[in-house]
Structure 1
Amino acid sequence: MFPSTVTRVERNTSERVNNAIQARMKRSIAYYAENPDEIAERLDELDHEWDIERTLEANAATISLAGIGLGALVDKRWLVLPFAVSGFLLQHALQRWCPPVVLFRHRGVRTASEINHERYALKALRGDFDNIEMAGEIGARERVENVLLHVKT
């Protein structure tokens, strides 16, 4: 009845947006394949990147608090905002889609799984995993494809 938690957002995002997010991640990995001394810094950035869930939660809390404040201080009609946001949160919990998801995905906000895909690809490029061949005479492009193949989620 309910879609898988891991893939719900991607399945409810347009193919064009998903492809753009994946292409950005692939360009990032290709860059770090050529600049391995910068991988640690990028991993730190990924540790602080907000995923779609955190972004939605912060957005919902902000709009709800604003609606409650405006409802209490200005006009009770502002209380419709927290009501609408609660409906969106419930819809997202059940379907992994709600109107704000479309906006955030178009802005490039990724799922935790997508962030982890890049994280593990970078760790593989750095040599953190023994079972992925990175040595020898293979070029950066082949290393990127090899890493992405092994860390596919």
Structure 2
Amino acid sequence: MLHAEDPTSANRVRRSTAADVNHEIERRTNSNIRRYANSSPEVIDRRIQELDREWDVERALEVNAATVALAGLLLGVTVNRKWLVLPGVVLSFLLQHGLQGWCPPLPILRRSGVRTRGEIDREKYELKALLDGR
């Protein structure tokens, strides 16, 4: 279980996420583990490979921020300079996330089920433990 005092990004994100959202993400993770518990090693291996490719909340924030900032920059240069405000807003969100572990898009991503790397890895390691126990 993650501890609130831990300054890692995953724990800052969990601390900044509503308790009911964290609970739902944990419930889904536990459900996934139970679903694969009686699966063949090949099926579990495929699931572990899927987990290795799953985007965590940090990656989702970074890619979305870069996309919006580049769009704002492009629109600012080609359409109207007022669009240049958009990259400034996005960069301030990234700074806020880096310092506090929270930014306005975070609740949306978390409610959509986007997990931290630690949450993804917990499922992965539990599935590996199932394989090792056979």
What is aligned with 2:22?
18
Matches within 5 A, 1:68-87: 68-87=73-92
Give the C-alpha shift of residue 36 in structure 1: 3.4
Matches within 5 A, 1:1-153: 4-5=7-8, 6-37=10-41, 38-127=43-132, 134=133
Unaligned runs of 5+ in 1: 128-133, 136-153
Alpha carbons 1:17, 1:105 under 8 Å: kept? yes
CA distance in 2, matches of 1:36, 1:102: 36
| 1:109 partner SS | coil
Letter in 2 for 1:13: T
CA distance in 1, matches of 2:39, 2:100: 40
Let me know the Cα RMSD of the aligned residues.
1.4
Letter in 2 for 1:24: R
Runs of 4+ in 1 over 3 A off after TM superposition: none
Unaligned runs of 5+ in 2: none
Give the TM-score, by structure 1 length: 0.80
Give the TM-score, by structure 2 length: 0.91
Offset from partner CA, 1:14-41 (integer Å, 9 cap, x none): 0111011001000100011021331000
Aligned length: 128
Report which structure shows greater RCO (CA 8 Å, sep ≥6): 2
CA distance in 1, matches of 2:6, 2:39: 38
